[in-house]
Structures are given as structure tokens and as C-alpha cells.
């Protein structure tokens, strides 16, 4: 590894080092503020280093990593998400009496794992990144140690993630057995992936099982609502965004490098998963009254929409995926942000009924939440609309009519439960005992909450009204994935 | 200076946002300052821009400001861009100038009303949207402004929403104009699919190249655009909404339903005149619609007792003149009449508003009278407005614009004597009904007592508008005046860079003088007849009206030629009937079924969320099995 490699890899080295340093730091100082500032500082530094690293791209750093515009874009997205989650967590943890420092070590590690996935170009880095991410998440999910639901969720995630990882490993082994390589680029070139043999396609689909679990797509989705409900709201936000986004980045790279669309078995497998996710995810959310569970189901459906773009393939599809993920990140972080900032010590603000009539007592918070919901529903002038528009355009370009029809049907079902929340927010305040005190009395967003949510809302509207800059960035980065 | 073009609509939108968000917390005076101030600054900016445009015109006499690219998908790249040219300068001057005066007037007129800041919020939103409409350089942005003003019109007609009738009037206006809007939207689709662009200038050039004159596509596109224009401008057969729109506050009627929004159709046709020139049958239709509308509405205006309804029919009739002018290719004449009409009709509405306000919300002219002495300023300004509307020769602005239209209709190659005759008959009706209003309201014996006098914020707009109603016509002199050495054609020359002149065959001097004399005789005759019927011998009108024929005709005219009844019988009642009979119709069943299936599926699927880890792991295993099954099968 020479100095150029080192510079290219800096954005990954910094968070890795930072987690070790923070681990040492908290043995000396238990100050919450120091941990938060250190975490934010190191993430920000890593983010800035992306521009330094961008000078030498594209560059293979050992067979394990590829630092190109594509991975830099997604790593950047992951760092931003990490920063947002850290800000959210600082408030969330600050109000609760629990050990705090270790949380940020785990958050840094999880972000590192996700970034490794985004830059991974080898089965080894794929698996290593996935495990760094998963192991950090086991603990983060169960971070509220004296909360039964949290412990239950952590344990469930541990067992199921371990099981799915074994599927993934077995799939990798089968592919290696057939092709003799674990390097994506070697697999891609020289016709290493021959005509489909049963063993090879079985291997590919077993990898799909492992990936599908992380993406929480049907039928590997069953854990999602329980884990979201049990995890602290900022951690749930992290699972919904970074964990899925990183896997998706890797999936896209893997798919386009090996041109997997040409194998009917893989194609139909993914198409089936996409269709099932769009339908079942939305249907499950219909009568749900727990906001975190609604968002869990919603994320299942959104991953289904994204898979439609993967099926389409091509440059438009890559732009679509990049745009959709950026929009989805902003929206999900905003939605979970509202929940996190409204959550008190007695439990997270996840009960829908508690929000009834909140728009009248705190219009701004409700307005932010409505903006997030409308974006999730894909209403024009929000980022979600442009994202969905691109996905549909990519799908229509590849004539994927059945997935598109399901996408439209799923979005329609989705409207019901998103608007249901909006209706509750603007609903009539129940009269009677306690007068009109609703909408989390005594809870204030505070400076951090107010600024963070305002920034996210503006990002959302900005992307929805003026998408050109991001599209230009995407065309310069994500769309140039395959030479 | 030109670079500040985007500021003009933005200011109004800014006012809207401030009032919409903080309106409740503002005192009425502050709300008025925001509402009036933003439009006032816009008006000053427009004035500065216009002066710069006239003294040092941009290259090509047009300046396009691209603000940003909205989206870009496979060749569909609508930019958000504004266009400054002679046409949009004229439109902006009127919108912000008259708009500012009406805002000023409203600050006093609406004082004490519930929802004072809401009113200004809507008004600002309207001005912003109207400016976007006239500045838009592509049809998509124009459509945005078009829908925006439609929305504001709806909101403001129903401003006093506690009365269900106002809500009904608002809905009626919205639904009827929607018929036209749909045609307009289809026209946009047609233009985009066939010409591949929504940029107005580009589309117009393309239309000439791709479609050619008198081709089916050009006729279809122009006819659909005409559909939109007819709806917005309340022309036959979609004119029925405008009289009911008078349910809104009077300043709204003055700004939206007289001076600006209802002339959007005129603007649209002028803006896309190249396309219309390619479709002679549609041009003929425009002229015929204009002529028919101006006559029908003129007769209706004659029999109204509600002063605002009379003015509404008069507006329909005057826009009919503009359509007539457009139909014979006299684009700038239409725009000229638009300008003078904005001044005198806004003046008339504001004057009527002052009367109504001082008579405790009395609209019925039968219960007015003798207000000449009680409200002298209102009387004199109203009289000036009515004279301008009646095109009183030489001294009023209305004379110059109407004369230009009639002259063009008489001499244009696509004009005809029939159209000219309709216009002249309309001019007679106009002076008859205008002075009927004047005599009934301000002369005769006093039937009501005016309470107090209008304040300065009402008086200033009246005086300023009265001034323009007199002198605004001097920028364009009739061709006959050229013989007297007064060869002034500032208006048409200014517009020539955007709108081509008319192709006309000159008439012999004697014929022109003869025609002019007929027009003037009929106009003055109308005033004289109004004096005879409504002031000198009011009995005659009563006797004529009481004959069976007279009564039937009067009823027909008062109800606007029974269009409402016809639409009710042919469209509304059958539709409502079908809706009622078919309340639980078969078409709904699939949807109800879908909802039922959705909830059933939800209940079934919810059972899979059992919370048991072994079940969840089984899900993963099952998924793996299915995927491997696919491998085996394929």
C-alpha cells in the first residue's frame, strides 16, 4: 500500500481510528459533550477527506476496496446520515440516564461498516463490512438495557442476522467454487461468470437471501417492525437509512459489474421480491397505529420500489437509485427525527393517537412531519416525488410493466396510511378531561431539534423543487459506475 | 435593471407567504402595509422596467430570464423562465398599476371585515400568479399562473364563506372555468407531443414549419386553446360563471373579474397569435364568439337591477369586443381595449363599491337614486367611467380603443360588415346600459340615505383611475385624425415588436366618415334614450316592460338568456340524477372490493407478524426455498 492508496482510503481510516480513540477517551472522560463533539468532528473530517480522496479516483486499494466516484458519493451520504443520527442521539441520550460514550463508538463503527460496504469490491470486504455493521447494531438496538422490548429486539436481530449471514456465506462459497474468484472485478471480466449453472445461480440467490435480510424485503422482512419498535428512535433511523443504503450501493455495484440481469433466475427472483415487498409492505402498514412500525413497513415498500430500478438497469436507473436513496435518507431521518425529539423518558413517541391535533398546538413540528410523510408518499414538490418519478421513468424505459403497475398500486395503498397520519395531526383535539392539552406537553424541540429538522425539511423541498444540482452530481458519480 | 425581472412576481408571493404564515398575529394596519406595499413596490419596479424597455430596448425587443431548470427527463426540460417584451410590459403595467390602486382601496373597503389579512394574502397570491401568467416564457409556467389565478378567483369569490350561496358561486366559477382549463391542458399535450416543446416562441415557429397554414392539427390546437380562453374570459358558451362571481367582495370583482384575470384569455390568444393565424376557421370562431357575446351580454346588462351584476355583464360584453378584435387579427387593438377597459371598469366597480358601502350593502339600483349630491366625488368619477365605457367621443379613453376595434373590424381582410354591425349595435347598447346605471343610481329622487363619505384611501384610487379613464386613450389616435395632423400610433407601434400589424384594405374617406358618424350617432343616441327612459319619462320603460312580449324578453335577458337553465337541464340535472341513482354503482364495486381486499390482506398478513423468532427464521428459510425453486424451474 503506497501513499496514494493511503490517501484514497483516508475516509475509511479516519472513522476506524476515531472509534478506537473514542474508546480510549471514554475510559478517561465520561463527558457526554466530549463524546458527541468528537464523533461529529471525526465524521465531518471524514466527510471532508472524501474531497481529498476524490483526487486520485478511481483507484483500487488492495483487492478489497474500490474508491471511485460511485463509492465516494455513497460514503458521503452515509457520513451525512451518521452526523444527523449523532445529533439526534446526543439529545436522546442526554435526557436519559444511561451509559453514553460507548454508544458513539458503536455508531462510528456502524458507519464505518456501512462505508466499507459502499466501497467493497470483494466478497471478503463485503462480509467484513456487513459484520462490522451488524455487530454494532446488535448492541445499539438493545442499548436501552432495562427496556424489555429493546432487549428482545436486539436478540431477535442477532439470531436472524446470524442466520442470514450464514446463507450469505454459503452463497459466496458456491460462487467461489464455480468461478474461482471472490473479486467482483475479476468476476466481471474475462467471462468468469459463464452460462448459468445450477450451482452458480443457487449461490447467487443465497447471496440474495443475505442481502434481502439486510434490506428487509419480503419474505425476509418479518424482523423489521419488531426491531424498529424496540430500538431507540435514532438507532431505528440508522437501520432504516445507512444500513440499507450501504447494502443497496453494494448490490447495485455487484449487479452491474456482473451484469446479473441477463440471468433469468436472478432476474425473476429479484422481480418477485420487489413485487412482494411493494405490496406486502404497504398492506401491512394499513391499520397500524404504532408510528415506528408504520415507518418499518413503509421502508419495506420503499426498498421494493428501489429494486424496480435495479431490475431496469442502465444509466437512468443508477441516477434513479442515487436520487431515490438521497431523498429517502432525508425523509426517513426527518420522520424518525420528529419521533426522537418528541420522545420522553417513559418511552418513544410512537403511539399515533398521542399525535392527535398536534398541528394546532405546535404547527412547525407537525408541518415538518407532514412534509416528511408527503415525501414518503411521493407527492410533487418533495424529494420523494422526483425520486419516484425517476424510478418510474427507469422502469418504463425498460418496459417493466408488471412491477410498475404494482408500484403504482403500492403507492396508492401507501397514500392511505400516510394521509391517515396527516389527518390525525390535523384532527380535532378530543374534548373533555385535561382540556386541550395534547401533542406532548412540555416537550420542546430545542435548538438542535429545530435546526436539524428545519435543515432536513429544506433539503427535502429543495430537492423536490430544484433537483438539477443533485442530478448533475449523480450523473458525474453514480451514473459512471460501469466504465 | 432587467435582471430584476424575477423580483416582481416574487414580491407578491413574498407578501402572500408573510400574510399566510403570520397574518393572524398582525394588526390590520400592518397586514395592509404588507399586502399593499408589496404590490406597490412591484408597480414601481414595473414602471422603471417599462421606462428602461422603452428608452433602451433589449436586442430583439425581448429579454428572457432563465431562472432554473425544473426537471430534465428524456427531452422534457421545462425551464422556469420569464420573458420581457412589449406585450408582457403592457400586461404588467396594468396588473401592478391597477392592482396597486385596488389594493389601496381595499385597505379601507375591507377594514373591519373578518379575515382582513386572509383577504390580502389571497390578493397578493393572485397578483403573483397573474404576473407569472403574463411573464411565462413557456406554456407550462403559463399554465401554472393560469391555475393559480383560477384558484385565487375561487378563494376570493367565496371569501365570505359563511354564506353557502357564496360558496356555490365560487364552485360554479371554478367548475365552469375548469371546462375551459381542460381544453387548455389538452392543447398543451397536443403541442408538446407534436412540436416537442412547450417554449412559446419555439412552439410558434415549429407550428408554422410542421403544421402549416389551415392544417387540421393547427386548427385543433388553436381551437383547444380557444376553449381555455373562452372559459377564463367568460365568453360564450362558458360565460355563465361571471355574473355569479360578483358574490365576492367588490375590490375582487374590480381586480380579478374585470381588470385582469378575465382578460387572461385575450392575452393567451394574443401570445399564441401565430398559431391562431394558421387556423382561419378558428379565427372566424373567435370573432363570431366575440360578436355574439358582446350583444347577448349587452342585452342582459340592460335589465339587471343589481349594480354589480350589470357591471359583470358589461365586462363580458367588453371582453367580447376584445375577442372580436382578436378574431379579425387586430391583436394590438384588443390589447388597447384591454388597457382602457381595465381603467374604466375597475373605476366603475370601485365606484359601485363605494356606493354599496355607503348604502349599507345595498346592491339594488331600484333602491338607489339621487346619490349625485350625497356622494359627489363618487358620482363624478363614476360618470367618467360610464362615459369611457360608452366611448364618449374624443374626451374618453374608451372612445379611442373601441374606435380602433370597430375601424379594424370594418377594414380587416377577415372582418365583415356583419361583425362590424354587431360591434356598432353593441356600442349603442353599451351607452344605453351605462347611462341607465348612472341615472338610476345618481339621479332622480333619493331613496336611501348614504352614511358618511368614503375616506382618502377610497378617493385616491377613484381619482387616479378616472384620470386614466380619460387620457389613457391619447396614445393611439383614430386613423381619421391623421387628416387633422394627429397621426399618433404609439400603442400599436410599441406592440409591433411582438404583435404584427393588421392587414387591411383602406377605405375611401367618405365611407370612413360615414361609418364614424353612424357609430357616434348610435352611441349618443344610446345616452339620449337612457335619459328618456330612465330619467325624463320613467313611465315609458315600465309600459314597454309590462307588455307580454316585453316581460318575456326582460325575463330572458335578466337571466342571461337562460343559459343557466339550459345547462341545468342538459348537464347539471342529468349529472346529479345519475350520481344519485347510481350512488352505489357497479363502477364503485371494484374499488370497494379493493378496500375490502386491502383490509383483509392486512389482517391476514398481520398474523405473520407474530413476534416469534422461530417463525421469522422460518420466513427466511421459506424465502430461500422459493428462490432455489426458481433456479430449479428455470
pLDDT score recorded for residue A57: 74
**A244 within some domain:** yes
pLDDT score recorded for residue A194: 61
**A316 within some domain:** yes
pLDDT score recorded for residue B584: 74
Q: How far is CA A180 from CA A120, A184, A187, in A?
A: 18, 11, 9
Give the C-alpha separation, B572 to B235, whole Å: 20
In sequence order, what DSSP letters do the residues of B80-117 get, joined into one string?
Answer: EEEEEEHHHHHHHHHHHHHHHHHHHHHHHHTTT-TTHH
Give yes or no for B632 touching A (CB within 8 A): yes
- Cell numbers for A25: 477517551
Per-residue pLDDT of B395-437, as tens digits, reads 899 999 999 999 888 888 887 889 999 999 999 999 999 999 9
- Whether residue A140 is found in the same domain as residue A285: no
The answer to whether residue A434 scores a pLDDT higher than 60 is no
Contact A145, A190 (CB under 8 A): no
Mean pLDDT of B167-181: 91
Task: Give which of A109, A157, A94, A133 is closest to A296, Cα–Cα.
Answer: A157
**A180 within some domain:** no
The answer to whether residue B351 scores a pLDDT higher than 80 is yes
The answer to whether residue B506 scores a pLDDT higher than 80 is no
- Cell numbers for B33: 402595509
pLDDT score recorded for residue B548: 84
- Whether residue A245 is found in the same domain as residue A277: no
**DSSP 8-state assignment for residue A126:** H
Report pTM: 0.68
Residues 6+ apart with CB under 8 A from B563: B237, B239, B240
Give yes or no for B622 touching A (CB within 8 A): yes
Determine, for residues B620 and A209 on separate chains, whether the beta-carbon distance falls below 8 Å.
yes
- Whether residue A147 is found in the same domain as residue A291: no
Residue A358 — very low, low, confident or very high, per pLDDT cuts 50/70/90? confident
- Cell numbers for A372: 416528511
Query: Residue A206, SS3?
Result: helix
Residue B1 — very low, low, confident or very high, per pLDDT cuts 50/70/90? confident
Task: Give which of A90, A18, A24 is closest to A47, Cα–Cα.
Answer: A18
Per-residue pLDDT of A74-92, as tens digits, reads 999 999 999 999 999 998 9
**A350 within some domain:** yes
The answer to whether residue B269 scores a pLDDT higher than 90 is yes
Does residue A242 have a cis peptide bond before it, meaning omega lies within 30 degrees of 0?
no
**A6 within some domain:** yes
Domain boundary residue, one of A230, A253, A276: A253
Of all residues in chain B, the percent with pLDDT exceeding 90 is: 44
Residues 6+ apart with CB under 8 A from B294: B316, B317, B318, B320, B321, B324, B422, B423, B426
Give the C-alpha separation, A9 to A3, whole Å: 10
Q: Is the dihedral of CA B504, B510, B514, B520 positive or negative?
A: positive
Give the C-alpha separation, B632 to A354, whole Å: 51
Determine, for residues B622 and A269 on separate chains, whether the beta-carbon distance falls below 8 Å.
no
- The stretches of A286-400 forming alpha helices (DSSP H) are 291-312, 315-342, 358-361, 363-377, 383-397
Q: Which of A155, A167, A264 sits opposite B624 (nearest CB)?
A: A167
Contact A59, A8 (CB under 8 A): yes
Give the C-alpha separation, B521 to B593, whole Å: 71
**DSSP 8-state assignment for residue A232:** -
Residues 6+ apart with CB under 8 A from A174: A199, A200, A202, A203, A206
Determine, for residues B632 and A198 on separate chains, whether the beta-carbon distance falls below 8 Å.
yes
Task: Give which of B240, B226, B385, B366 is closest to B300, Cα–Cα.
Answer: B240
- Cell numbers for B470: 380619460
- Please give the residue of chain A at the shortest CA–CA distance from B68: A466
Residue with the bigger pLDDT between B460 and B546: it is B460
Per-residue pLDDT of A310-320, as tens digits, reads 898 888 888 89
- Whether residue A413 is found in the same domain as residue A292: yes
Kind plus residue range of the DSSP H or E element containing B69: strand B62-69
Rounded to the nearest 5 degrees, what angle is found at the Cα of B545, between the Cα atoms of B540 and B551? 170
- Whether residue A239 is found in the same domain as residue A366: no
The answer to whether residue B152 scores a pLDDT higher than 60 is yes
pLDDT score recorded for residue B365: 83
State which residues form the domain around A446. 267-483
Give yes or no for B599 touching A (CB within 8 A): yes
Determine, for residues B624 and A209 on separate chains, whether the beta-carbon distance falls below 8 Å.
yes
How many of the other CB atoms lie within 10 Å of CB of B75? 7
Determine, for residues B627 and A269 on separate chains, whether the beta-carbon distance falls below 8 Å.
yes
Pairing state between β B62-69 and A65-67? unpaired
What distance in Å separates residue B629's CA from the closest CA in chain A?
Answer: 9
Q: What is chain A's mean pLDDT, rounded?
A: 89
- Whether residue A77 is found in the same domain as residue A131: yes
- Cell numbers for B206: 415549429
Q: Quote ipTM for the complex.
A: 0.89
Residue A190 — very low, low, confident or very high, per pLDDT cuts 50/70/90? low
Candidates B141, B624, B629, B632: best to mutate against A (most CBs of A within 10 A) is B624
pLDDT score recorded for residue B74: 64
Residues 6+ apart with CB under 8 A from B565: B559
- Whether residue A238 is found in the same domain as residue A357: no
Determine, for residues A226 and B609 on separate chains, whether the beta-carbon distance falls below 8 Å.
yes
- Whether residue A334 is found in the same domain as residue A483: yes
- Whether residue A223 is found in the same domain as residue A283: no
Phi, psi of B301 (to 5 degrees): -60, -30
Pairing state between β B79-85 and B62-69? antiparallel
pLDDT score recorded for residue A195: 66
Rg over CA atoms, chain A = 21
- Please give the residue of chain B at the shortest CA–CA distance from A414: B598
Contact B268, B329 (CB under 8 A): no
What distance in Å separates residue A53's CA from the closest CA in chain B?
Answer: 30
Q: Which of A340-354, B14-28, B60-74, B320-334 has the lowest mean pLDDT?
A: B60-74
Angle, to 10 degrees, between the axis of helix B456-471 and the axis of helix B331-358?
A: 150
pLDDT score recorded for residue A191: 59
Phi, psi of A286 (to 5 degrees): -50, -55
Residue B533 — very low, low, confident or very high, per pLDDT cuts 50/70/90? confident
What distance in Å separates residue B229's CA from the closest CA in chain A?
Answer: 27
pLDDT score recorded for residue A436: 47
Determine, for residues B609 and A284 on separate chains, whether the beta-carbon distance falls below 8 Å.
yes
**A159 within some domain:** no
- Cell numbers for B553: 324578453
Does residue B44 have a cis peptide bond before it, meaning omega lies within 30 degrees of 0?
no
Give yes or no for B614 touching A (CB within 8 A): no
Give the C-alpha separation, A89 to A340, whole Å: 8
What distance in Å separates residue A413's CA from the closest CA in chain B?
Answer: 8
- Whether residue A300 is found in the same domain as residue A365: yes
**A138 within some domain:** yes
Give the C-alpha separation, B62 to B59, whole Å: 7
Rg over CA atoms, chain B = 28
Give yes or no for B484 touching A (CB within 8 A): no
Query: Residue A207, SS3?
Result: helix
Contact B399, B392 (CB under 8 A): yes
Q: Is the dihedral of CA B82, B84, B87, B92 positive or negative?
A: positive
Q: How far apart are the first and last CA of chain A?
A: 24
What distance in Å separates residue B9's CA from the closest CA in chain A?
Answer: 18
Per-residue pLDDT of A214-253, as tens digits, reads 999 988 999 999 999 999 999 999 999 999 999 999 998 8
Residue A435 — very low, low, confident or very high, per pLDDT cuts 50/70/90? very low
Per-residue pLDDT of B304-319, as tens digits, reads 889 999 999 999 999 9
Determine, for residues B620 and A219 on separate chains, whether the beta-carbon distance falls below 8 Å.
yes
Task: Give which of A265, A270, A281, A272 is closest to A311, Cα–Cα.
Answer: A270
* Chain B residues whose beta carbon lies within 8 Å of the beta carbon of residue A198: 631-632
Q: Which of A201, A213, A467 sits opposite B620 (nearest CB)?
A: A213
Residue with the bigger pLDDT between B506 and B564: it is B564
Domain boundary residue, one of A228, A253, A278: A253
Give the C-alpha separation, B510 to A63, whole Å: 98
Task: Give which of A297, A295, A337, A307 is closest to A445, Cα–Cα.
Answer: A337
Task: Give which of B369, B133, B436, B118 is closest to B252, Cα–Cα.
Answer: B118
- Whether residue A223 is found in the same domain as residue A285: no
In sequence order, what DSSP letters do the residues of B204-263 get, joined into one string?
Answer: HHHHHHHT-TT-HHHHHHHHHHHHHHHHHTT-TTSTTHHHHGGGS-HHHHHIIIIISGGG
Number of domains in chain A: 2
Rounded to the nearest 5 degrees, what angle is found at the Cα of A183, between the Cα atoms of A182 and A184? 115
**A168 within some domain:** no
- Whether residue A232 is found in the same domain as residue A365: no
The answer to whether residue A376 scores a pLDDT higher than 80 is yes
Residue with the bigger pLDDT between A356 and A432: it is A356
Residues 6+ apart with CB under 8 A from A59: A4, A5, A8, A66, A67, A68
pLDDT score recorded for residue B633: 82
Query: Residue A286, SS3?
Result: coil
pLDDT score recorded for residue A322: 92
Task: Give which of A328, A206, A175, A471 is closest to B77, Cα–Cα.
Answer: A471
pLDDT score recorded for residue A430: 65
Amino acid at each position: 500500500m503506497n501513499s496514494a492508496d493511503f490517501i484514497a482510503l483516508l475516509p475509511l481510516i479516519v472513522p476506524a481510528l476515531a472509534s478506537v480513540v473514542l474508546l480510549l477517551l471514554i475510559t478517561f472522560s465520561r463527558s457526554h459533550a466530549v463524546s458527541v463533539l468528537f464523533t461529529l468532528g471525526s465524521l465531518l473530517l471524514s466527510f471532508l477527506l472524501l474531497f481529498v480522496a476524490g483526487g486520485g479516483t478511481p483507484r483500487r486499494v488492495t483487492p478489497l476496496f474500490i474508491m471511485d466516484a460511485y463509492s465516494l458519493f455513497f460514503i458521503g451520504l452515509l457520513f451525512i446520515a451518521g452526523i444527523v443520527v449523532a445529533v439526534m442521539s446526543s439529545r436522546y441520550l442526554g435526557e436519559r440516564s444511561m451509559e453514553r460514550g460507548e454508544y458513539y463508538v458503536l455508531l462510528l463503527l456502524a458507519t464505518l461498516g456501512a462505508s466499507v460496504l459502499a466501497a467493497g469490491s470483494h466478497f471478503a470486504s463485503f462480509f467484513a463490512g456487513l459484520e462490522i455493521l451488524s455487530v454494532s447494531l446488535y448492541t445499539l438496538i438493545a442499548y436501552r438495557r432495562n427496556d424489555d422490548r429493546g432487549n428482545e429486539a436486539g436478540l431477535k436481530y442477532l439470531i436472524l442476522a446470524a442466520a442470514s449471514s450464514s446463507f450469505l456465506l454459503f452463497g459466496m462459497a458456491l460462487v467461489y467454487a464455480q468461478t474461482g474468484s471472490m473479486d467482483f472485478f475479476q468476476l466481471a471480466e474475462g467471462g468468469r461468470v459463464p452460462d448459468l449453472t445450477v450451482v452458480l445461480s443457487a449461490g447467487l440467490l443465497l447471496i440474495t437471501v443475505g442481502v434481502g435480510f439486510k434490506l428487509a424485503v419480503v419474505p425476509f422482512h418479518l424482523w423489521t417492525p419488531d426491531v424498529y419498535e424496540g430500538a431507540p428512535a435514532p438507532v431505528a433511523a440508522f437501520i432504516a437509512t445507512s444500513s440499507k443504503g450501504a447494502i443497496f450501493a453494494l448490490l447495485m455495484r455487484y449487479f452491474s459489474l456482473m451484469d446479473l440481469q441477463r440471468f433469468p433466475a436472478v432476474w425473476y427472483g429479484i422481480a418477485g421480491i420487489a413485487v412482494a415487498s411493494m405490496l406486502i409492505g404497504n398492506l401491512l402498514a394499513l391499520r397500524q397505529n404504532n408510528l415506528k412500525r408504520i415507518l418499518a413497513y413503509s421502508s419495506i415498500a420503499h426498498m421494493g420500489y428501489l429494486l424496480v430500478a435495479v431490475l431496469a438497469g442502465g444509466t437512468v436507473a443508477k441516477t434513479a437509485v442515487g436520487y431515490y436513496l438521497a431523498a429517502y435518507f432525508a425523509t426517513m431521518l426527518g420522520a424518525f427525527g420528529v419521533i426522537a425529539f418528541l420522545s420522553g423518558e417513559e418511552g418513544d413517541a410512537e403511539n399515533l393517537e398521542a399525535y392527535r391535533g398536534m398541528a394546532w398546538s405546535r404547527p412547525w413540528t407537525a408541518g415538518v412531519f407532514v412534509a416528511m410523510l408527503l415525501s414518503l408518499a411521493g407527492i410533487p414538490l418533495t424529494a420523494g416525488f422526483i425520486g419516484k418519478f425517476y424510478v418510474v421513468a427507469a422502469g418504463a424505459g425498460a418496459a417493466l410493466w408488471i412491477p410498475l403497475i404494482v408500484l403504482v398500486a403500492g403507492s396508492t395503498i401507501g397514500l392511505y396510511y400516510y394521509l391517515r397520519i396527516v389527518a390525525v395531526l390535523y384532527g380535532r383535539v378530543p374534548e373533555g378531561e385535561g382540556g386541550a392539552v395534547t401533542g406532548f406537553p412540555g416537550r420542546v424541540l430545542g435548538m438542535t431539534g429545530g435546526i436539524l429538522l428545519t435543515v432536513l425539511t429544506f433539503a427535502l423541498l429543495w430537492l423536490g423543487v430544484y433537483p438539477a444540482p443533485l442530478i448533475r452530481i449523480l450523473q458525474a458519480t453514480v451514473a459512471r459506475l460501469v466504465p | 435593471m432587467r435582471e430584476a425581472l424575477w423580483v416582481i412576481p416574487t414580491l407578491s408571493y413574498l407578501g402572500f407567504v408573510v400574510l399566510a404564515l403570520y397574518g393572524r398575529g398582525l394588526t390590520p394596519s400592518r397586514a395592509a402595509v404588507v399586502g399593499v406595499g408589496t404590490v406597490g413596490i412591484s408597480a414601481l419596479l414595473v414602471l422603471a422596467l417599462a421606462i428602461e424597455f422603452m428608452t433602451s430596448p433589449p436586442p430583439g425587443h425581448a429579454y428572457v430570464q432563465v431562472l432554473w431548470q425544473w426537471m430534465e427527463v428524456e427531452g422534457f426540460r421545462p425551464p422556469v423562465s420569464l420573458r420581457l417584451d412589449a406585450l408582457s410590459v403592457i400586461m404588467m403595467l396594468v396588473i401592478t398599476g391597477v392592482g396597486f390602486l385596488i389594493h389601496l382601496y381595499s385597505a379601507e373597503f375591507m377594514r373591519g371585515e373578518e379575515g382582513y389579512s386572509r383577504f390580502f394574502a389571497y390578493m397578493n397570491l393572485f397578483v403573483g400568479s397573474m404576473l407569472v401568467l403574463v411573464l411565462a416564457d413557456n406554456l407550462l409556467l403559463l399554465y401554472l399562473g393560469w391555475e393559480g389565478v383560477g384558484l385565487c378567483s375561487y378563494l376570493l369569490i367565496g371569501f365570505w364563506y359563511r354564506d353557502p350561496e357564496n360558496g356555490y358561486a365560487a364552485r360554479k366559477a371554478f367548475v365552469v372555468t375548469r371546462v375551459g382549463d381542460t381544453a387548455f391542458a389538452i392543447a398543451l399535450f397536443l403541442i408538446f407531443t407534436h412540436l416537442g416543446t412547450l417554449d412559446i416562441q419555439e412552439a410558434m415557429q415549429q407550428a408554422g414549419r410542421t403544421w402549416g397554414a389551415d392544417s387540421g392539427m393547427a386548427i385543433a390546437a388553436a381551437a383547444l386553446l380557444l376553449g381555455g380562453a373562452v372559459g377564463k374570459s367568460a365568453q360564450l358558451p362558458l360565460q355563465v360563471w361571471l355574473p355569479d362571481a360578483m358574490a365576492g367582495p367588490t375590490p375582487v370583482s374590480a381586480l380579478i373579474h374585470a381588470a385582469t384575470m378575465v382578460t387572461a384569455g385575450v392575452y393567451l390568444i394574443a401570445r399564441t397569435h401565430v398559431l391562431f393565424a394558421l387556423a382561419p376557421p378558428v379565427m372566424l370562431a373567435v370573432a363570431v364568439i366575440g360578436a355574439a357575446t358582446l350583444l347577448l351580454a349587452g342585452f342582459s346588462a340592460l335589465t339587471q337591477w343589481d349594480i354589480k351584476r350589470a357591471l359583470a355583464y358589461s365586462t363580458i360584453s367588453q371582453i367580447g369586443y376584445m375577442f372580436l378584435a382578436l378574431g379579425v387579427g387586430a391583436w394590438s387593438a384588443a390589447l388597447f381595449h384591454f388597457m382602457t377597459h381595465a381603467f374604466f371598469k375597475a373605476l366603475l366597480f370601485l365606484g359601485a363599491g363605494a356606493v354599496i358601502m355607503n348604502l349599507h350593502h345595498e346592491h339594488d339600483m331600484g333602491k338607489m337614486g339621487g346619490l349625485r349630491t350625497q356622494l359627489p366625488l363618487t358620482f363624478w368619477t363614476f360618470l367618467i367611467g360610464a362615459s369611457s365605457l360608452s366611448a364618449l367621443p374624443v374626451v374618453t379613453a374608451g372612445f379611442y380603443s373601441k374606435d380602433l376595434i370597430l375601424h379594424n373590424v370594418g377594414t380587416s381582410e377577415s372582418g365583415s360588415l356583419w361583425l362590424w354591425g354587431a360591434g356598432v349595435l353593441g356600442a349603442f347598447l353599451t351607452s344605453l346600459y351605462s347611462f341607465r346605471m348612472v341615472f338610476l343610481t345618481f339621479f332622480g329622487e333619493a331613496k336611501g340615505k348614504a352614511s358618511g363619505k368614503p375616506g382618502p384611501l377610497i378617493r385616491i384610487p377613484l381619482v387616479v383611475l378616472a384620470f386614466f379613464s380619460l387620457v389613457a386613450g391619447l396614445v393611439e389616435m383614430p386613423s381619421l385624425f391623421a387628416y387633422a395632423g394627429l397621426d399618433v400610433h404609439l400603442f400599436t407601434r410599441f406592440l409591433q415588436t411582438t404583435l404584427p400589424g393588421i392587414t387591411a384594405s383602406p377605405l375611401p374617406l367618405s365611407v370612413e366618415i360615414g361609418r364614424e358618424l353612424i357609430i357616434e350617432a348610435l352611441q349618443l343616441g344610446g345616452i339620449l334614450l337612457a335619459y328618456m327612459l330612465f330619467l325624463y319619462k320613467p313611465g315609458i320603460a315600465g309600459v314597454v316592460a309590462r307588455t307580454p312580449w316585453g316581460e318575456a324578453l326582460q325575463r330572458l335577458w335578466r337571466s342571461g338568456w337562460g343559459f343557466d337553465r339550459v345547462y341545468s337541464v342538459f348537464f347539471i340535472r342529468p349529472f346529479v340524477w345519475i350520481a344519485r341513482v347510481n350512488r352505489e354503482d357497479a363502477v364503485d364495486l371494484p374499488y370497494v372490493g379493493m378496500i375490502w381486499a386491502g383490509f383483509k390482506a392486512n389482517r391476514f398478513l398481520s398474523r405473520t407478524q407474530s413476534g416469534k423468532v422461530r417463525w421469522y427464521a422460518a420466513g427466511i428459510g421459506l424465502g430461500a426455498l422459493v428462490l432455489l425453486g426458481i433456479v430449479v424451474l428455470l
